[in-house]
Amino acid sequence: MSETLGRSTLRGVLWSFAERFSSQAIGFVVIMVMARILTPSDYGLVGMLTIFIQLGTTLSDSGISQALIRMKDRSDRDTSTAFYFNVMTGAALYGLIWLLAPHIAHYYSEPDLTSLARVIGLMIPVSALMVVQRALLSSRMDFRTQTRASLVAYGISGVLGIWMAYSGLGVWSIAYYQLSTQTLLCVMLWILSRWWPRSGFSRVAFRRMFGFSSRLGVAEIMDILYRNVYLLVIGKVYKASDLGYFTRAQQVGGFLSANVSYIVQRVSYPSLCHHQDETVRLRSSFMKMLGVSSLFIFPIMWGIIVLSGDVIYLLLGDKWMFSARLLPILSLGFMWHHVQSLNLQLLQVVGRSDLYLRIEIVKKAAGLLILAVSVPFGIEAMCWSFVGSSAFSLLCNTWYNGRMFDTGLWSQLKNIGPVYIVSGTAAVVGLLSASRIEIVWLHLTVALVVEFVIYGIWAWFRRRDDILSVCRI
């Protein structure tokens, strides 16, 4: 890989990290503050709508943004066509949400969901308005601009959300916080990206992109349906407060893994697409990305697992302690999310969206079967079904890469297995070293310090090349 591309990738990693964690950290703090004011039922109501919003947002894109990033000879006609498709689809999907809102409320037996769905549903067309801007900025690895936009959006809407929660608006404070964040982000990206459609809609350009994006879009839709089916089932079978406990544990457990995976994918995809025809370089870069991301994700996830009670108590307070029983289980599944995502991304880079879709069909069918078996045994059993599905997904996602690039499951485990074992051992040692401390924040601090000192020493002497290799990806 050229030196220029390597420096560009490194800058992309740093700015993507800054953008994602600065904005997400603000959002995380806002949600934690609001959680101390609001009730589990409030978050449960919003959680019931999550699947519909995420599904609508994905449908309005349908993989078009990934197709734009991958195209080497992208033209104004292509970008304008993508924009018009996204906007028209987003508007149509919001209309569908408006019509279905009463039926959604009836399904959950929650009358307030009708008006709530119609407000939160506005996030779908707003999100569609900025798909192309984000894709173009990402293709140039210009994450600095996205960082500026995100900080403004999350900062202003965060203050607004907390003020509304303190003012007694209840669940509506969550709805308006989420909608205002998306709206401000959209406005900032339009201002800073300086892009607007300059051509009309082209059927030729659309067919050109849709051939790749359609299968990718279907796979992404299946993934969203599957990931959110837990919310559908829990919201229907159990109480809104139970769904609130689950969503908070899900958010805390998935915060690090999902965000690091997002950062790595967002930077690696445009970078690897430059060498989509060079198998050796693709394999080398993939294994480096896998090793570096695991080096940071595994120890923190192990820390969350062994110290889940402290984490929930300090972040959310006493009324959320049931989430502490769910958090370590869910974290075991989230821990491998980045591995699964990177494997699927490798197939996207080489244009094998057909294999991507095939994998999604197999693993989602198996995952639904595992979930169905667990439902009668309670929420904790459903969390364990998530871990089982994650393990099966790991097998599926690594299958074709093993045949095509010689990067199968065994090769990947040899690369990141020692990190997993050592970080887990260090976390347990840290927990035992703080076992006599009764003050919660001090117990958490001592345990984490011991864990990261032990792990850091090992990583510095045994995996130093993985840390330094990010500069040469």
pLDDT tens per residue across all 473 residues of the chain: 444 444 555 555 555 555 556 666 777 788 778 878 888 888 888 888 887 888 888 777 767 777 776 666 677 888 888 888 888 989 999 999 999 999 989 888 888 899 999 999 999 999 989 888 888 887 776 777 888 888 889 889 989 999 999 888 888 999 999 999 999 999 999 998 888 888 877 787 777 766 666 666 666 777 777 777 777 788 778 877 888 888 888 888 877 777 666 666 666 666 666 656 666 777 777 787 788 888 888 998 999 999 999 988 888 878 888 888 999 999 998 888 888 888 877 777 766 767 777 888 888 888 889 988 998 888 899 999 999 988 898 888 888 777 777 787 888 888 888 999 999 999 999 999 998 898 988 999 999 999 999 998 998 888 777 666 554 44
- Which tokens hold the place of 380? 């904790």
Contact (CB, 8 A) for 131 and 64: yes
Residue 272: exposure state from Cβ atoms within 10 A (0-12, 13-18, ≥19)? buried
Return all residues near 178 (Cβ < 8 A) that are at least 6 apart.
46, 120, 123
- How far apart CA 62 and CA 212 sit, in angstroms, is 10
What was the pLDDT predicted at 288? Answer: 79
How do the domains of the chain map onto residue ranges? 1-237, 239-473
Phi then psi dihedrals of residue 98, to 5 deg: -60, -45
Q: The pTM is what?
A: 0.67
Residue 27: exposure state from Cβ atoms within 10 A (0-12, 13-18, ≥19)? buried
Contact (CB, 8 A) for 241 and 319: no
Contact (CB, 8 A) for 254 and 50: no
